Structure 1
């Protein structure tokens, strides 16, 4: 196996491993986690995201599990029409990422 082929295989395996680390959680599982107190309510998580961008509206949300941690993804549109992508720790409500959607 030459170096280029080995490099290509290593990159492909790395991308596949990364892709399998995160999984989307369905509504039933999300509600079970909320009811068990494992994650915060969706209302609290949305309020935390909107608190970062007052006057924004929630466009889309998604709950996923990545590396054993529950992450809440929120897409917002602010009063000026700018779209934002936020990622919160679903257990604590801490904002982990906040960037303008490009």
Structure 2
């Protein structure tokens, strides 16, 4: 029983540590990073996402800092009504993830 409790405690700490590695950035901080040139313009990042799914529309965006890297998350809906979730490196515009939402 003691091993199970210890294992559960370690799993909980690992989950909390992973969650602490990502943080959402508010609009003011996101604009400061854009203005400083740390991240690309949001229009340019949206264009990069839309290029992966032509004819789609941007539904939601979010900027996060994960493990010291700025990640721009975009939700798109294509002409067929399919929702896509993309993650881009906000500094380079490189598409890191592109998958259909469940």
Mapped to 1, the partners of 2:4 and 2:42 lie a distance apart of 47
Mapped to 2, the partners of 1:85 and 1:7 lie a distance apart of 33
Is residue 2:96 matched to residue 1:100?
no
Mapped to 2, the partners of 1:9 and 1:97 lie a distance apart of 31
Mapped to 2, the partners of 1:19 and 1:67 lie a distance apart of 10
In the other structure, the counterpart of 2:90 is 90
In the other structure, the counterpart of 1:57 is 57
**TM-score, reference length from structure 1:** 0.98
Equivalent residue of 2:91, what SS?
Answer: coil
In the other structure, the counterpart of 1:11 is 11
Runs of 4+ in 1 over 2 A off after TM superposition: none
Mapped to 1, the partners of 2:94 and 2:9 lie a distance apart of 37
Q: What do the CA deviations read for 1:28-53 (whole angstroms, capped 9, x no partner)?
A: 11111001000000000000000000
- Structure 1: 5+ residue runs without aligned partners? none
Between the two proteins, the alignment pairs up a number of residues equal to 102
